[in-house]
Amino acid sequence: MKIGFIGIGVMGESMARHLMAGGHELTVYSRTKAKAEALLSEGAAWADDAGACAAGQDAVITIVGFPKDVEQVYLGADGILENAKTGAYLIDMTTTSPALWEGIAQDAAARGLHPLDAPVSGGDTGARNATLSIMVGGEEADFNACASIFACMGKNIVHTGKAGTGQHTKMANQIAIAGAVAGVAEAIRYGEVCGLDTTNMLSCISAGAAGSWQMSNNGPKMISGDFAPAFFIKHFIKDMGIAAQEATAHEANLPILDTVLKLYEEMMANGQGDLGTQALIDKYR
């Protein structure tokens, strides 16, 4: 297929590369062209804005930073909705507001376009290895039509229901991570203050009921002080903030989410927003 790909970041570059390896013809756009240079050298074409990237494509994929960025690339005269050809598939893989996407999807469908919200989980490692979990909301026929696209980037690919349900599923994912990453940080800090060999401790408890992806992957990084971002704190705050807003709108009380969000917001205020989420251990220390 001819695909427009918008957003060349920590995950987007690898995802775009897998699509090219899968035989798809890519046109790319990013606010910073330098981030796309490697893909351009490998055969991708460049577009000067989101609308130009969407024009004439069979599908358009977006993975940008924040809800305001989603609005910017989809709406307006130079946006995707005004420039995508009738019948094109619009796949937003950003983690964004479910309510925002539902509005965009309704507008897109009225124009004869096929919108899918398809946020991902797995971080930069999943993007590099094409093992992302992809949660897809939208019409089932559209999901099926894009199966070959998703298969280039992920392994656990699930149709979650109508438009917006992919985003709601990702919110549930982020809520679960909030508790898990904080639990690992607390366990490590407890081990430190009690004089344990924390590497030994993790090897003991990770094989039992306490084991988790966060413990196996971010636990060792917490111990070693490796805070390089596979997933930025600033983006996790964005995700948790959306989840908290949705919880409030649906009258759900989520005290663990609220607590972890506050901890990360304090780190953000302390200038730590560009660190990886595993840097939460620094808050405990």
Instruction: Specify whether 170 is catalytic.
Output: yes
- Distance, CA of 283 to CA of 276 (rounded, Å): 13
Q: What are phi and psi of 185, to 5 degrees?
A: -60, -40
68, 162, 170, 283: which is the annotated catalytic residue? 170
* CA quadruple 153, 155, 158, 159: dihedral sign: positive
- Distance, CA of 192 to CA of 197 (rounded, Å): 8
Shortest CA distance to 233 belongs to which of 267, 256, 259, 189?
267
Strand-pairing partners, residue 5, are: 28, 61
Query: Are the CB atoms for 238 and 170 separated by under 8 Å?
Result: no
224: tokens are 């070693």
Q: Compute CA distances 229 → 158, 224, 234, whole Å.
A: 27, 14, 10
Assign residue 161 a region (left: φ > 0; alpha: ψ between -120 and 50; beta: otherwise). Answer: left
127: tokens are 């993007």
1-34 per-residue burial string, b: 16 or more CB within 10 A, e: under 16: bebbbbbbbbbbbbbbbbbbeeebebbbbbbeee
Q: Catalytic site residues?
A: 170
